[in-house]
Chain A
């Protein structure tokens, strides 16, 4: 049975039995090569769920939002609350682990339908290659991207050349925590997840600064990166506080630098490398270079990988006497 069918069957089962009150999963999008998040509450709607190489959006945040929202309702009865089920790519499952580590909810609150992953397609790259206005529709067929063009023709592109940047660097293709795991295991797409970081590290200090300033200089403070990031779930973000105002509210250069650098440091040791920040940015800022740099640093200094073990505590939220002091002294 195809993974998509297994997901539908599991969702149907969970909703019909009442074990879950909602299933967060993917449904087909309105644009070519797009799948999008949906909250399915009815077993009869389980057939809307899809699973394909376009399932890039992160679903973990919807789980957290759902649980937080229902807790706030006046008529909420914790004893009667049922599980929130979610179709979880490995990065989504890692995010759920971080939520458990950070006491946002317990493992019993969620039913994780884990899926062994394969690199997702970079739809913008496909559109750019074919010409956005020529694309009538597109699909991933095996190891090819098949594009139907507006002149009635068809173009076939090798999927391997059109893989999403974060997926291309991903080495964790199996969910670290799940109630059930679907799909075949695949080999990691990359041997070295830090290729883009090394490119940045190879720059001299001044060059690095200039590069960061130029790239984040395009930011329009839309906060898409923050809103899709699993790690950014503060009810009030430092960037928007006015009382006190830590940073300015808009696009002055110093504020853009401060916003992005402080935000990425707030995610240090918690970033699950999902890549949603970079995908969401309308201004194509290469945010993953910044976050992956910190992922590398945390791995090297603390031997820690985010979102793998629910029993672990994130290093920047804990103190050990033998913590690395590199950079402080």
Chain B
């Protein structure tokens, strides 16, 4: 399907049209913490000021808190899945790629999570290709890129005073068809894609990842793990801002026999993550936990699903209160330190 175009000044109209068509529309907006995906309330979207949201788009598929089951005495029923149609505009390629990776965990181990599945099925992702990286971006080091379409339904490119919208999935095609946009010129699309490719060229990969990956695992006992983690404070900031972290905890909350079973974000960096009821804790030390985090991102997930779980968005590097840096960690451990 040919790409469509929207004048940048017409973007509000485009988003309002989606709302009128029944979509809950989310777009990047300034927030006290930086940028966030907020319900679109009208007005311009600052496409040039916006780089990356503080929290990733993950919350739209995997909310921080979800009551997935309601119980009354011994009777428990699954809470109805959220089937609302949603359009998320302005997701970054790293965010979209991360969701496609998390899909593998929630949908294809032989079990299907109905809540996650419903949210993903009913959400259209319009991914804003990156025309410049943030200083902490390293997507090109982990198999991604500024115009990577993995996980995207529609790719949006800046092209002069226009936005070019190119469908990259059947869901995206369906959405653009209904939007009835003017056709974009092939030349314009080619030009803007080339501009993004140039951006990728400025982001030299930090590592030769495929060769380095098995070395990370081979150096399982490297002293670097404890040293790198010595400054870690075992909070969950890195995990919670990460677009591909997907671990959760479960707890029941109720009164007088009536309540909900809750699912909420959890972090392997925290000391109680693997604490057994007996008191035994296989990952009692920070170095063990940090190693788990890095190896999961760069090795274990790849062993299971063939792709790198870290998407190089750099949010963890920015969020860490004490400057633990995953880029540095991978380099140090691979060097056998």
Which A residues contact B (CB, under 8 angstroms)?
A: 29-32, 34, 36-39, 57, 61-62, 132-133, 135-136, 215, 218, 220-224, 226-228, 240, 242, 245, 248-252, 276, 279-280, 282-285
The residues of A that contact B317 with a CB separation of less than 8 Å are 30-31
State the CA gap A285–B237 with chains docked (Å).
Answer: 14
Sampled A-B contacts (23; CB under 8 Å): A32-B135, A36-B231, A36-B323, A37-B231, A38-B230, A57-B322, A132-B51, A136-B135, A218-B32, A220-B240, A222-B240, A222-B267, A223-B270, A224-B321, A228-B233, A228-B322, A245-B253, A249-B251, A249-B264, A250-B265, A283-B54, A284-B32, A284-B33
Distance between Cα atoms of A29 and B54 in the complex (Å): 21
Q: A212 → chain B, closest Cβ, in Å?
A: 14
Residue of A nearest to B236 (CB): A222
Q: Are B134 and A220 in contact (CB under 8 A)?
A: no
Given known A-B contacts A242-B251, A284-B32, A132 and B235 have beta carbons under 8 A apart: no
Q: How far is the CA of A139 from the CA of B243 in the complex (A)?
A: 31
* Residue of B whose beta carbon sits closest to that of A277: B321
Cα A6 to Cα B313 with chains together (Å): 39
| Nearest opposing residue in chain B for A34, CB measure | B323
Which chain B residue lies CB-closest to A133? B134
Does A30 contact B32, Cβ atoms closer than 8 Å?
no
Say how far B215's CB is from chain A's closest CB, in angstroms: 21
Contact check, B323 vs A133: say whether CB atoms are below 8 A apart.
no
Interface contact B264-A282, CB-CB below 8 Å? no
Chain B interface size band reads 35 or more
- Per the bound structure, the CA–CA distance linking A276 and B272 in Å amounts to 23
> Measured between alpha carbons, how far is A54 from B101 in the docked complex, in Å?
37
Residues of B contacting A228 in the complex (Cβ-Cβ under 8 angstroms): 233, 235, 321-322
Please tell me if B288 contacts chain A, counting CB pairs below 8 Å: no
Residues of B within 8 A of A279 (CB): 321
Complex contact A282–B233 (CB within 8 A)? no
Closest to B328 in A: A30
A32 proximity list for chain B (CB < 8 A): 135
A251 CB contact (under 8 Å) in B64, B234, B327: B64
Q: Which residues of B contact A282 (CB under 8 A)?
A: 33, 54-55, 237, 240-241, 319
Does B136 lie at the interface of the complex (its beta carbon under 8 Å from any beta carbon of A)? yes
Q: How far is the CA of A215 from the CA of B135 in the complex (A)?
A: 29
Interface positions, chain B 206-231, Cβ under 8 Å from A, are 230-231
User: Which partner residue on chain A sits nearest B318 by CB separation?
Assistant: A31
In the bound complex, what is the Cα–Cα distance between A215 and B33 (angstroms)? Answer: 11
Q: Evaluate contact between A283 and B33: CB separation under 8 angstroms.
A: yes
Known contacts A133-B135, A224-B235, A249-B249, A36 near B51 by CB under 8 Å: no
Contact B54 A30 (CB under 8 A): no
| Distance (whole angstroms) from the CB of B140 to the closest CB of chain A | 16
State the Cβ distance, A198 to closest chain B Cβ, in Å.
21
Query: Which residues on A sit within 8 Å (CB–CB) of B236?
Result: 221-224
B251 contacts which chain A residues (CB < 8 A)?
242, 245, 248-249
Q: Chain B: which residue is nearest A61 at the CB level? A: B233
Is A31 within 8 A of B323, CB to CB?
yes
The interface residues of chain B lying within 8 Å CB-to-CB of A248 are 251, 253, 262
In the complex, B80 has a CB within 8 A of chain A: no
Min C-beta distance of A86 to chain B, whole Å: 13
A280 and B321 contact, CB distance less than 8 A: yes
